[in-house]
Amino acid sequence: MAKKQPSLLEFQRRFPDEASCARFLFERRWPDGFVCPECGGTRSCLLKSRAYTYECVACGRQTSVTAGTVMHRTKLSLTIWFWAAHLMATHSNGMSAQQLKGQLGLSYSTAWLLAQKLRRSMVDPEREPLEGVVEVDQTEMPFRADNSFFEITKTGKMIVIGAVEVINHATGKAQKPKALGRKYLDTLSGRIRLAAIPSNHAPHIHAFIKANIAPGATLITDGHASYLGLADYRHDPRVVGNMAAHIPLKWIHRVFALLKRWSLGTYHGLRRQHLDTYLNEFVFRYNRRFYRHVSFETILGLAIHRSPVSYWDITGQQNPRKDAPTPRRNSRRRKTVEGMRQDGAAPVRHAVSPLEIGDQ
Ligand SMILES: [Zn+2]
Protein backbone atom coordinates (compact mmCIF):
# COMPACT_ATOMS: atom_id res chain seq x y z
CA MET A 1 0.00 0.00 0.00
CA ALA A 2 2.73 2.41 0.97
CA LYS A 3 4.61 3.98 -1.89
CA LYS A 4 8.01 2.44 -2.34
CA GLN A 5 10.71 4.80 -1.21
CA PRO A 6 13.51 5.51 -3.63
CA SER A 7 16.92 4.23 -2.59
CA LEU A 8 19.59 6.73 -1.68
CA LEU A 9 21.12 6.18 -5.11
CA GLU A 10 17.85 6.97 -6.88
CA PHE A 11 17.41 9.98 -4.66
CA GLN A 12 20.91 11.17 -5.48
CA ARG A 13 20.12 10.84 -9.18
CA ARG A 14 17.11 13.09 -8.67
CA PHE A 15 19.15 15.64 -6.75
CA PRO A 16 22.61 15.27 -8.22
CA ASP A 17 23.82 18.83 -7.61
CA GLU A 18 23.16 22.14 -5.92
CA ALA A 19 21.12 23.46 -8.84
CA SER A 20 18.62 20.59 -8.76
CA CYS A 21 18.10 21.07 -5.01
CA ALA A 22 17.75 24.84 -5.42
CA ARG A 23 15.23 24.38 -8.23
CA PHE A 24 13.20 22.06 -6.02
CA LEU A 25 13.25 24.62 -3.19
CA PHE A 26 12.23 27.38 -5.59
CA GLU A 27 9.28 25.36 -6.86
CA ARG A 28 8.15 24.51 -3.34
CA ARG A 29 8.39 28.12 -2.23
CA TRP A 30 6.90 29.72 -5.31
CA PRO A 31 4.82 27.14 -7.21
CA ASP A 32 3.34 29.87 -9.43
CA GLY A 33 6.59 31.76 -9.89
CA PHE A 34 8.45 34.25 -7.73
CA VAL A 35 6.39 36.43 -5.36
CA CYS A 36 8.20 39.01 -3.24
CA PRO A 37 7.34 38.48 0.47
CA GLU A 38 7.74 42.25 0.98
CA CYS A 39 5.71 43.88 -1.80
CA GLY A 40 4.12 41.01 -3.72
CA GLY A 41 6.09 41.86 -6.87
CA THR A 42 6.58 39.01 -9.29
CA ARG A 43 9.67 40.13 -11.18
CA SER A 44 13.02 39.14 -9.77
CA CYS A 45 16.60 38.63 -10.65
CA LEU A 46 18.85 35.89 -9.38
CA LEU A 47 21.84 37.26 -7.54
CA LYS A 48 25.17 35.87 -8.52
CA SER A 49 26.77 37.28 -5.42
CA ARG A 50 24.73 35.18 -2.96
CA ALA A 51 23.74 31.59 -3.48
CA TYR A 52 20.14 30.98 -4.55
CA THR A 53 18.95 34.43 -3.62
CA TYR A 54 16.44 36.40 -5.63
CA GLU A 55 16.11 40.16 -5.59
CA CYS A 56 12.73 41.77 -6.16
CA VAL A 57 12.93 44.17 -9.10
CA ALA A 58 10.28 46.45 -7.56
CA CYS A 59 11.56 46.89 -3.97
CA GLY A 60 15.01 45.32 -3.86
CA ARG A 61 14.18 42.82 -1.09
CA GLN A 62 16.42 39.76 -1.33
CA THR A 63 14.95 36.35 -0.58
CA SER A 64 16.89 33.10 -0.44
CA VAL A 65 15.28 29.82 -1.41
CA THR A 66 16.51 28.44 1.92
CA ALA A 67 14.99 31.22 4.07
CA GLY A 68 12.90 29.79 6.90
CA THR A 69 14.23 26.25 6.46
CA VAL A 70 16.85 24.38 8.48
CA MET A 71 19.27 24.92 5.61
CA HIS A 72 19.36 28.69 5.90
CA ARG A 73 22.85 30.26 6.06
CA THR A 74 24.43 26.85 6.08
CA LYS A 75 27.97 26.17 4.98
CA LEU A 76 27.06 22.65 3.95
CA SER A 77 25.94 21.98 0.44
CA LEU A 78 22.24 21.58 -0.29
CA THR A 79 22.87 18.07 -1.60
CA ILE A 80 24.25 17.00 1.80
CA TRP A 81 21.14 18.38 3.51
CA PHE A 82 18.84 16.68 1.01
CA TRP A 83 20.60 13.33 1.20
CA ALA A 84 20.82 13.38 5.01
CA ALA A 85 17.12 14.25 5.29
CA HIS A 86 16.30 11.44 2.88
CA LEU A 87 18.22 8.95 5.04
CA MET A 88 16.51 10.21 8.20
CA ALA A 89 13.13 9.95 6.50
CA THR A 90 13.48 6.50 4.98
CA HIS A 91 15.01 4.69 7.95
CA SER A 92 12.03 4.03 10.13
CA ASN A 93 14.16 4.22 13.27
CA GLY A 94 16.03 7.31 12.18
CA MET A 95 19.76 7.74 11.79
CA SER A 96 22.40 8.51 14.35
CA ALA A 97 25.16 10.99 13.66
CA GLN A 98 27.55 8.04 13.46
CA GLN A 99 25.48 6.46 10.68
CA LEU A 100 25.17 9.74 8.75
CA LYS A 101 28.91 10.21 9.05
CA GLY A 102 29.47 6.82 7.46
CA GLN A 103 26.86 7.25 4.73
CA LEU A 104 27.78 10.75 3.65
CA GLY A 105 31.48 10.92 4.48
CA LEU A 106 31.22 13.82 6.92
CA SER A 107 33.21 14.52 10.06
CA TYR A 108 31.50 13.37 13.25
CA SER A 109 30.88 16.90 14.52
CA THR A 110 29.33 18.01 11.23
CA ALA A 111 27.17 14.90 11.11
CA TRP A 112 26.11 15.42 14.71
CA LEU A 113 24.97 19.00 14.19
CA LEU A 114 23.26 18.07 10.92
CA ALA A 115 21.37 15.23 12.61
CA GLN A 116 20.33 17.47 15.52
CA LYS A 117 19.02 20.16 13.19
CA LEU A 118 17.07 17.68 11.09
CA ARG A 119 15.67 16.01 14.18
CA ARG A 120 14.26 19.32 15.41
CA SER A 121 11.74 19.32 12.58
CA MET A 122 10.33 16.07 13.88
CA VAL A 123 7.82 17.59 16.26
CA ASP A 124 4.25 16.51 15.85
CA PRO A 125 2.71 19.50 14.06
CA GLU A 126 -0.85 18.68 15.02
CA ARG A 127 -0.47 18.28 18.73
CA GLU A 128 -4.15 17.82 19.42
CA PRO A 129 -4.55 16.61 23.00
CA LEU A 130 -5.11 12.90 23.65
CA GLU A 131 -8.72 11.96 24.38
CA GLY A 132 -10.97 9.22 25.69
CA VAL A 133 -9.26 6.57 27.78
CA VAL A 134 -5.58 7.36 28.31
CA GLU A 135 -2.93 5.32 30.11
CA VAL A 136 -0.37 7.44 31.97
CA ASP A 137 2.79 6.18 33.62
CA GLN A 138 6.43 7.02 34.27
CA THR A 139 9.66 5.24 33.61
CA GLU A 140 13.34 5.84 34.16
CA MET A 141 15.53 6.36 31.11
CA PRO A 142 19.27 5.90 31.42
CA PHE A 143 21.31 8.67 29.82
CA ARG A 144 24.92 9.43 29.11
CA ALA A 145 26.45 12.68 30.27
CA ASP A 146 28.66 12.90 27.19
CA ASN A 147 30.01 10.82 24.36
CA SER A 148 31.89 8.35 26.53
CA PHE A 149 30.46 4.87 26.47
CA PHE A 150 30.11 2.36 29.27
CA GLU A 151 31.49 4.57 31.97
CA ILE A 152 29.31 4.06 34.95
CA THR A 153 30.25 7.39 36.54
CA LYS A 154 29.02 9.27 33.50
CA THR A 155 25.57 7.80 33.30
CA GLY A 156 22.40 8.58 35.16
CA LYS A 157 18.66 8.25 34.99
CA MET A 158 15.90 10.65 34.02
CA ILE A 159 12.21 10.30 34.67
CA VAL A 160 10.13 10.16 31.50
CA ILE A 161 6.36 10.46 31.74
CA GLY A 162 4.22 9.06 28.95
CA ALA A 163 0.59 8.87 27.91
CA VAL A 164 -1.09 6.70 25.30
CA GLU A 165 -4.65 6.71 23.95
CA VAL A 166 -6.50 3.42 24.19
CA ILE A 167 -8.22 2.52 20.92
CA ASN A 168 -11.04 -0.01 20.59
CA HIS A 169 -9.86 -2.82 18.32
CA ALA A 170 -13.28 -3.52 16.84
CA THR A 171 -14.17 0.06 15.91
CA GLY A 172 -10.66 1.44 15.41
CA LYS A 173 -11.83 4.52 17.29
CA ALA A 174 -11.18 5.93 20.76
CA GLN A 175 -12.20 3.48 23.47
CA LYS A 176 -15.38 4.50 25.31
CA PRO A 177 -14.83 4.83 29.06
CA LYS A 178 -16.19 2.05 31.24
CA ALA A 179 -17.11 1.95 34.93
CA LEU A 180 -14.08 2.46 37.15
CA GLY A 181 -11.97 -0.65 37.59
CA ARG A 182 -13.47 -2.51 34.59
CA LYS A 183 -11.00 -4.18 32.28
CA TYR A 184 -10.36 -2.90 28.79
CA LEU A 185 -9.93 -5.94 26.58
CA ASP A 186 -9.13 -6.13 22.89
CA THR A 187 -7.63 -2.70 22.51
CA LEU A 188 -4.93 -1.05 20.41
CA SER A 189 -2.58 1.77 21.13
CA GLY A 190 -3.35 5.18 19.68
CA ARG A 191 -1.31 8.38 19.74
CA ILE A 192 1.32 8.95 22.40
CA ARG A 193 3.00 11.84 24.20
CA LEU A 194 6.27 11.75 26.17
CA ALA A 195 8.21 14.26 28.24
CA ALA A 196 11.17 14.30 30.58
CA ILE A 197 10.25 15.61 34.02
CA PRO A 198 12.59 16.58 36.86
CA SER A 199 10.76 14.55 39.49
CA ASN A 200 7.56 12.57 39.95
CA HIS A 201 6.03 15.20 42.22
CA ALA A 202 2.47 16.23 41.53
CA PRO A 203 3.15 19.67 39.92
CA HIS A 204 5.29 18.13 37.13
CA ILE A 205 2.83 15.31 36.52
CA HIS A 206 -0.18 17.61 36.52
CA ALA A 207 1.50 20.00 34.11
CA PHE A 208 2.21 17.16 31.67
CA ILE A 209 -1.36 15.87 31.84
CA LYS A 210 -2.91 19.30 31.34
CA ALA A 211 -0.63 20.04 28.40
CA ASN A 212 -1.24 16.74 26.60
CA ILE A 213 -4.61 15.28 27.53
CA ALA A 214 -8.03 16.80 26.90
CA PRO A 215 -10.13 17.56 30.01
CA GLY A 216 -12.78 14.95 30.63
CA ALA A 217 -10.54 12.05 29.61
CA THR A 218 -10.34 8.92 31.76
CA LEU A 219 -6.81 8.46 33.13
CA ILE A 220 -5.67 4.93 33.86
CA THR A 221 -2.69 5.08 36.23
CA ASP A 222 -0.89 3.00 38.81
CA GLY A 223 -2.61 5.06 41.50
CA HIS A 224 0.51 7.00 42.55
CA ALA A 225 -0.36 9.88 44.91
CA SER A 226 0.93 12.43 42.39
CA TYR A 227 -2.04 11.70 40.10
CA LEU A 228 -4.55 12.78 42.72
CA GLY A 229 -6.21 16.17 42.74
CA LEU A 230 -6.75 16.62 39.00
CA ALA A 231 -10.26 18.04 38.97
CA ASP A 232 -10.91 18.05 35.21
CA TYR A 233 -10.18 14.37 34.63
CA ARG A 234 -11.78 11.08 35.55
CA HIS A 235 -9.17 9.07 37.42
CA ASP A 236 -9.31 5.28 37.14
CA PRO A 237 -6.37 4.05 39.27
CA ARG A 238 -5.31 0.44 38.98
CA VAL A 239 -3.65 -0.73 42.15
CA VAL A 240 -0.74 -2.63 40.79
CA GLY A 241 0.28 -4.29 44.06
CA ASN A 242 1.58 -7.77 43.40
CA MET A 243 0.43 -7.77 39.81
CA ALA A 244 3.03 -6.92 37.21
CA ALA A 245 2.48 -3.32 36.15
CA HIS A 246 2.43 -4.20 32.46
CA ILE A 247 -0.91 -5.95 32.85
CA PRO A 248 -3.21 -3.04 33.67
CA LEU A 249 -0.98 -0.50 31.86
CA LYS A 250 -0.20 -2.61 28.86
CA TRP A 251 0.15 0.02 26.14
CA ILE A 252 2.24 2.59 27.94
CA HIS A 253 4.58 -0.17 29.05
CA ARG A 254 4.95 -1.32 25.48
CA VAL A 255 5.75 2.27 24.44
CA PHE A 256 8.43 2.54 27.14
CA ALA A 257 9.94 -0.79 26.06
CA LEU A 258 10.11 0.38 22.43
CA LEU A 259 11.58 3.72 23.49
CA LYS A 260 14.37 2.02 25.43
CA ARG A 261 15.16 -0.41 22.66
CA TRP A 262 15.19 2.41 20.09
CA SER A 263 17.43 4.66 22.17
CA LEU A 264 19.97 1.88 22.61
CA GLY A 265 19.73 0.51 19.08
CA THR A 266 19.88 3.75 17.14
CA TYR A 267 21.67 6.08 19.51
CA HIS A 268 23.56 3.85 21.97
CA GLY A 269 21.81 5.66 24.78
CA LEU A 270 20.56 9.21 24.90
CA ARG A 271 22.27 12.29 26.18
CA ARG A 272 20.42 14.13 28.90
CA GLN A 273 20.75 17.54 27.35
CA HIS A 274 19.01 16.48 24.14
CA LEU A 275 16.47 14.14 25.66
CA ASP A 276 13.49 16.27 24.60
CA THR A 277 14.60 16.29 20.98
CA TYR A 278 14.92 12.51 20.98
CA LEU A 279 11.56 12.09 22.72
CA ASN A 280 9.91 14.36 20.14
CA GLU A 281 11.44 12.29 17.36
CA PHE A 282 10.23 9.06 18.93
CA VAL A 283 6.69 10.43 19.40
CA PHE A 284 6.69 11.77 15.83
CA ARG A 285 7.71 8.41 14.38
CA TYR A 286 5.46 6.39 16.67
CA ASN A 287 2.37 8.44 15.85
CA ARG A 288 3.06 7.82 12.17
CA ARG A 289 4.06 4.18 12.45
CA PHE A 290 1.31 3.00 10.12
CA TYR A 291 2.46 5.54 7.56
CA ARG A 292 6.17 4.84 7.58
CA HIS A 293 6.80 7.52 5.02
CA VAL A 294 7.98 10.67 6.75
CA SER A 295 8.74 13.03 3.94
CA PHE A 296 12.24 14.40 3.61
CA GLU A 297 10.53 17.75 3.05
CA THR A 298 9.09 17.65 6.56
CA ILE A 299 12.52 16.88 7.97
CA LEU A 300 14.09 19.73 6.00
CA GLY A 301 11.53 22.05 7.55
CA LEU A 302 9.84 22.85 4.25
CA ALA A 303 6.40 21.90 5.49
CA ILE A 304 6.36 24.23 8.45
CA HIS A 305 8.24 27.46 8.28
CA ARG A 306 10.21 27.66 11.46
CA SER A 307 13.07 29.92 12.35
CA PRO A 308 16.45 28.31 11.84
CA VAL A 309 18.17 26.82 14.86
CA SER A 310 21.81 27.57 15.55
CA TYR A 311 24.55 25.46 17.09
CA TRP A 312 24.22 27.59 20.23
CA ASP A 313 20.47 26.91 20.52
CA ILE A 314 21.06 23.18 20.20
CA THR A 315 23.88 22.92 22.71
CA GLY A 316 22.20 25.35 25.10
CA GLN A 317 25.39 27.37 25.41
CA GLN A 318 25.87 31.09 25.19
CA ASN A 319 27.49 32.14 21.97
CA PRO A 320 30.63 33.96 23.22
CA ARG A 321 30.66 36.08 20.09
CA LYS A 322 27.01 37.10 20.25
CA ASP A 323 26.53 40.86 19.88
CA ALA A 324 30.29 41.35 19.91
CA PRO A 325 31.71 43.14 16.90
CA THR A 326 33.75 40.75 14.82
CA PRO A 327 37.28 41.94 14.22
CA ARG A 328 38.19 40.89 10.72
CA ARG A 329 41.51 41.18 9.05
CA ASN A 330 39.97 40.18 5.78
CA SER A 331 36.45 40.93 4.70
CA ARG A 332 34.00 38.13 5.05
CA ARG A 333 33.62 35.45 2.44
CA ARG A 334 30.23 34.32 1.25
CA LYS A 335 29.07 31.20 -0.49
CA THR A 336 27.81 32.08 -3.95
CA VAL A 337 26.66 30.13 -6.94
CA GLU A 338 30.17 30.23 -8.31
CA GLY A 339 31.98 29.35 -5.11
CA MET A 340 33.27 31.53 -2.28
CA ARG A 341 33.40 35.26 -2.87
CA GLN A 342 35.16 37.89 -0.80
CA ASP A 343 32.78 40.52 0.56
CA GLY A 344 33.34 43.87 -1.03
CA ALA A 345 34.23 42.33 -4.36
CA ALA A 346 31.94 43.67 -7.04
CA PRO A 347 28.74 41.61 -7.10
CA VAL A 348 27.84 40.37 -10.52
CA ARG A 349 24.14 40.53 -11.12
CA HIS A 350 22.29 39.10 -14.05
CA ALA A 351 18.61 39.38 -14.68
CA VAL A 352 17.48 35.89 -15.50
CA SER A 353 14.29 34.03 -15.30
CA PRO A 354 14.31 32.16 -11.98
CA LEU A 355 14.05 28.77 -13.61
CA GLU A 356 17.24 29.24 -15.49
CA ILE A 357 19.08 28.61 -12.28
CA GLY A 358 19.94 25.10 -13.35
CA ASP A 359 21.81 26.37 -16.35
CA GLN A 360 24.21 28.63 -14.50
ZN1 LIG B 1 9.44 43.39 -3.51
What digits encode the pLDDT tens for the residues 131-179?
999 999 999 988 776 655 555 555 678 899 999 999 999 998 889 999 9
Residue by residue, DSSP assigns 142-183 as EEESSS--S-GGGEEEEEEEEEEEEEETTTSSBPPP-STT--
The model's confidence at residue 264, banded by pLDDT at 50, 70 and 90, is confident
Ranking 32-36, 89-93, 255-259, 321-325 by mean pLDDT, the lowest is: 321-325
Q: What is the pLDDT of residue 336?
A: 60
Contact indicator for 346, 44 with CB cutoff of 8 Å: no
Residue 315 is predicted with a pLDDT of 67
Percent of the chain at pLDDT > 90 equals 38
| Distance (Å) from CA 61 to ligand 1 centroid | 5
Residue 174 φ/ψ, nearest 5 degrees: -55, 135
Report which of residues 106 and 284 the model is more confident about: 106
- Residue 260 reports pLDDT greater than 60: yes
> What distance in angstroms lies between residue 25's CA and the mean position of ligand 1's atoms?
19
Dist. CA 70 → ligand 1 center (Å): 24
Average pLDDT, the chain: 81
Strands 53-56 and 44-46: antiparallel
Per-residue pLDDT tens over the stretch 298-349? 888 776 444 555 666 666 777 776 666 655 555 556 566 666 666 555 544 4
Q: At what angle do helices 97-104 and 78-90 cross, to 10 degrees?
A: 130
Strands 218-221 and 187-197: unpaired
193-197, 263-267, 309-313: the lowest-pLDDT one:
309-313
Cα–ligand 1 centroid distance for 55 (angstroms): 8
Residue 44, pLDDT score:
94
Chain-centre distance of CA 279, in angstroms? 9
Pick 313 or 210 by higher pLDDT. Answer: 210
Q: Which of 29, 83, 82, 79 is nearest to 54 (CA)?
A: 29
By the CB criterion, residues less than 5 angstroms from ion ligand 1 are 36, 38-39, 41, 56, 58-59, 61
Q: How much is the average pLDDT of 32-38?
A: 91
